[in-house]
Amino acid sequence: MYEKKIEEELDCGIRVAFKIFGGKWKLCIIDAINRGIARPVDIHKSIPNATLRVIEIQLAELLFFGVVDKCSEEIYPKKSEYKLTAIGESLLPLLNQIDTWGAKHSEFVKERQSELIDSE
Amino acid sequence: MYEKKIEEELDCGIRVAFKIFGGKWKLCIIDAINRGIARPVDIHKSIPNATLRVIEIQLAELLFFGVVDKCSEEIYPKKSEYKLTAIGESLLPLLNQIDTWGAKHSEFVKERQSELIDSE
DNA sequence: ACAATAACCGAAAAAAGATTCGGTATACTA
DNA sequence: TAGTATACCGAATCTTTTTTCGGTTATTGT
């Protein structure tokens, strides 16, 4: 894992939380796993905008911080299954609130966004 | 504002939400404003780890997306005051949950972090 | 007149994070 | 045996975000 050059603030709950799930696709990955999508390829299929590589990297980080658990069967076609730990599950209410809030404001954000683009 | 080269996913609530408040210090800034800290210098004092410049930039983005409002009095010492809009206030329950969740797991994260550093 | 303070802004540089690409290993299937 | 699928890794590159730094403007206190 990459070594930071700027000291991290871990005395602030917000910053700790972002360290755990602030990655571009982490909450989407957690959401997918929660919906029963367990294997990397399938997670990738459910989030086509994310590359498989970034899913692997972020899964490894989630694993490192105990948000997900991995059970690898070392048989054909190398079958790894990820599931949420207790920590991961404790994130679900948050995840749902964030998703709901975002969905509620998505039209407004898109509008604002297109104004930016139009004004060029 | 920086022009993105990679198309953004705005059909996913999570991604929309992160577009609005995913910046490194945005939730901290919103929290400060909510606590009655209204002026950029004071926000900076309350978040010393963030540079004044990044607070300015993120305030401008929050303003652009209607999360905060600005009332500038054009008098000495150029007194700008920021306050939350309805959208900004609708973020507060989320903010509190994120902060609480993070605070609850901060010790665990710090431990895991130090294991990484020790193993070098 | 001059220092100090506040709120900016622009641009370059640095840092962090994501993406692309090519590789390994394994084992089934045709 | 060759082809396909899965999981994963390393490294280079690219993108995005943050930081650093040096302005500008305006007003008050000395």
Q: Which residues of A touch B110 (CB under 8 A)?
A: 10
Kindly compute the dihedral angle of the four CA atoms of residues A5, A10, A13, A14, in this order, to the nearest 10 degrees: -10
pLDDT category of residue A110 using cuts at 50, 70 and 90:
very high
Contact B68, B83 (CB under 8 A): yes
The shortest CB-CB distance from A99 to any of B13, B102, B108 is to B13
Interface contact B106-A16, CB threshold 8 A:
yes
| H or E stretch covering B72 | strand B68-73
- Band of the pLDDT at B76, cuts 50, 70, 90? low
Q: Quick: pLDDT tens for A67-93.
A: 999 987 666 556 899 999 999 999 999
Strand D within 7 A of B25 CB: yes
- pLDDT band at B74, cuts 50/70/90? low
Strand D bases contacted by the protein (CB, 7 Å)? 5-11, 14-22, 25-28
| A80 sits within 7 Å of strand D by its CB | yes
pLDDT band at A96 (very low <50, low <70, confident <90, very high): very high
> Where residue A35 falls among pLDDT bands split at 50, 70, 90?
very high
Q: What is the mean pLDDT of residues B73-92?
A: 86
List the single residue in A9, A16, A22 with the smallest CB-CB distance to B105.
Answer: A16
Residue with tokens 């652009």: B64
More confident residue, B117 or B29: B29
pLDDT grade, residue B43 (50/70/90)? very high
Chain B residues whose C-beta sits inside 8 Å of any chain A C-beta:
1, 8-20, 22, 24, 27-28, 31, 49, 64-66, 87, 90-91, 93-95, 97-106, 108-110, 112-113, 116
More reliable by pLDDT, B71 or B19: B19
Q: Are A14 and B99 in contact (CB under 8 A)?
A: yes
Token output for B28 = 């901290």
Q: Is the CB of A4 under 7 A from strand D?
A: no
Q: Give the model's pLDDT for residue A79.
A: 83
- Report how far residue B59's alpha carbon sits from residue B80's, in angstroms, rounded to the nearest whole number: 11
- B99 near A13, Cβ under 8 Å? yes
The pLDDT of residue B117 is: 66
Q: Is the pLDDT at B98 greater than 80, yes or no?
A: yes
A15 touches strand C (CB under 7 A): no
Predicted confidence band at A1 (pLDDT cuts at 50, 70, 90)?
confident
pLDDT greater than 70 at residue B120: no
Q: What's the pLDDT band for B8 if we cut at 50, 70, 90? A: very high
A54 Cβ within 7 A of any nucleic strand C atom: yes
Residues written for chain B: 120
Nearest by CB to B1, from A1, A22, A116: name it: A116
Three-state DSSP state, A79: strand
In chain C, which nucleotides are within 7 Å of a protein Cβ? 5-11, 14-22, 25-28
> What share of chain A has pLDDT > 70, as a percent?
92
For A43-73, write each residue's pLDDT tens digit.
999 999 999 999 999 999 999 999 999 987 6
Tokens found for residue A58: 């972020």
Contact yes or no for A14/B102 (Cβ under 8 A):
yes
DSSP secondary structure string, A59-71? Answer: HHHHHHTTSEEEE
